[in-house]
Chains A and B, each alone.
Chain A
Amino acid sequence: MPFGYHGRYLRIDVSRPSTSLAAALSKVEGRGSVERVPLEETVLRQFIGGSGLGVRLLLDEGTASLDPLDPRAPLIFAFSPLVGSPLTTSAKFAVVSKSPLTDRINDSLASSGFAIAGKSCGCDAFVIVGRAPELSVLIIEDGDVRVEPAAECAGMTCEETGAHYRSRLGVDFRIATIGPAGENGVRYATISHDGRHAGRGGSGAVMGAKNIKAIAVRGTQRPEWADRREVIAISKDLSHRSFGPATAKYRELGTATNLLTFNRFGALPTRNFQSGEFDQAGNLSVEQLTATRSKTRGSCATCTIGCEHIYSVGDGSVRLEYESLFALGSLCGVGDADVVLRAVQRCDELGLDTISTGGTIAFAMECVERGWLEAPWLTFGSGDALLRAIDLIGWREGLGDLLAEGSRRSAVAIGHNSIAIAPQVKGLEIPGYEPRALQTMALGFAVGARGADHNRSGAYEVDFSDKVDRRNVTLEAVRHAIDTEDRAALMDSLILCKFLRGVLEDFHGETAAMLRSVTGWDVTAAELRDTAARIVAAKQEFNRLAGWTPAEDTLPERFLDTPLPNDRSASLSRARLDALVAEYHRQRGW
């Protein structure tokens, strides 16, 4: 077994009534409620960890055609060889499943102590199947796995649940939880850990379908590194460089600073993508937010960047990112910063993905505006309506029961060809990048394995460079889009935070050196390029097994053949997008 790994995963069936499964684990290896399944070194080298390993395990389960909320559908927590090392930003884990929002692959990442503690349980992944007979907590402590009733946590927020189990089990347990949204099967519910979220695609609903309110982990098992001295040397150098200009934006201002930049370029999605400019953007700027309320900073375990900017709101506080700010601000036409901060906070409490929540509510607001949906209170710009809609969604009450299905399913129910204005690809709501003004990103959204996604395709970087004309891209953009997608797949499998990418001057060479020092493999930059493409292909293979067809690699009608109202030169024809997608498929060999 290579260094950096345990060489096995735990396959846990939570539907078994046992309260302590340690005996089963030790006496009936490979059978019973918990299986300790060996991982071959060739598999680890080909898929590394995180998203890559999770997708491979999901494929091995052979469940691509299942309903994602079926008890047999796996929910996978995958760690990586770098977790537990001092390499900055490496304390991350991937949650991989079939998405109840898209019915395609879903891999969401989150950070911090859960990753370190989970891997310290002596395995490289948890594969969770089944459905507990009642709302439960899954406790994994070194080799011992228990499922215990959690009825007292029903309806608790993510933060309350985490605090409850830290108090009950001990502060050295790391807790991942779902909120009411996950319990209620909202298709874009999150899994939360210490205020961070595996946010996109509805992994919280998958956990809720298993009747698991929380997962508590604690362990003592840490694999050795192949070259400890080299691991420490690389870590020191990387940490030193991470304090430099390449991460200044994240450290000094946070991603929320993107809002004014996108607005300046006419690329800030506003009022359900009806415009790329928001006349109240200044109210939501970092400068204004900082001038009118207190702010603190934080960071994940092992991170030297410290990107978290936490703003006070009411009696509490909330971590604010650009994506939440745009989705619950400009996209819904809300320019009151207090309301937007409260909306973000409420999503975090309920366990809702802020992008899909904002996207679905903005879509509903436009449907009301057009007379397609009877909910006169739900209007653009209304803070009260925004906050009311979020609560209705989290508890699946009234109109919220429909909107909890996401914009694509809601559009089907509403009719009027409203699918043309539903801001989604494959069912996943579009992040804060106007596709007509950023056309390499438009391609990235269209072909994304988990739908419209800025974390799996960094193609916006290409649009904000001299490599392309962002409002009139050519087929030349395709290879750039593929490159950003491959890099993201690699970072999500190693796992390293993408905010570190500007620090890595020789991306593949430096990441290969990290992996060599931890695992002892003679891995090269060229091998990692192949590995990245293999991981992207594995996601595509899962989608193909789940029913993918080339026709779904596209954008909603709204974005095609109609210029952006605030910038008539930002126009994307269907023919151009089709050509870009076809070239992408050709270069991928699909």
Chain B
Amino acid sequence: MHVEFLGVSRERAGVAELHVEADTLGRLVAALAAQTPGLAELIVVDRLHPSLAANLNGDRFISDPATPLGDDDRVLILSADVGG
């Protein structure tokens, strides 16, 4: 699936988007830790640091590592605190 980075996650990843093979959120996050070293400090095994949030297709926010993902899904990684 496609991963979109917004804000700090984009700065740390160094790219705006990535294509990653993973069938659950936990596997996706673990893959991101391996593929994008800049994000590693914001990932604990298969979970995002609480300062980050994951959203599926711009619709619902997801946090359970077991959340299934499909090939056509887009996962957005953004700051959990979006206020200002």
Contacts and interface: CB of A to CB of B under 8 A. Distances in A.
B42 A249 contact: no
Contacts of B41: 245
Contact of B83 (A248, A266, A454, A465): A454
Contacts of B80: 461, 464-465, 502
B51 to A, nearest CB: 4
Nearest to B7: A257
A143 to B, nearest CB: 40
B60 A261 contact: no
Contact of A246 (B7, B51, B63): B51
Contacts of A460: 82-83
Interface of A: 245-246, 248-249, 252-253, 255-258, 260-262, 264-266, 321-323, 432, 454, 458, 460-461, 464-466, 469, 498, 501-502
A464 B50 CA distance: 13
Interface band, chain B? 20 to 34
Nearest to B79: A249
A266 B84 CA distance: 17
Q: Tell me if A's interface is mostly helix, strand, loop or mixed.
A: helix
B8 A252 contact: yes
A266 B6 contact: no
Interface of B: 4, 6-8, 11, 41-42, 49-53, 55, 58, 60-63, 76, 78-84
Contact of B51 (A245, A262, A469): A245
A253 B58 contact: no
Contact of B61 (A266, A322, A465): A465
B58 A249 contact: no
B56 to A, nearest CB: 10
A262 B6 CA distance: 10
Given A257-B7, A261-B7, A469-B60, A321 B42 contact: no
Nearest to A465: B61
Q: Looking at B4, B50, B61, which has the most chain A CB atoms within 10 Å of its CB?
A: B61
Contact of A245 (B49, B76, B78, B84): B49
B50 A246 contact: yes
B84 A255 contact: yes
Nearest to A458: B83
Contact of B7 (A249, A323, A469): A249
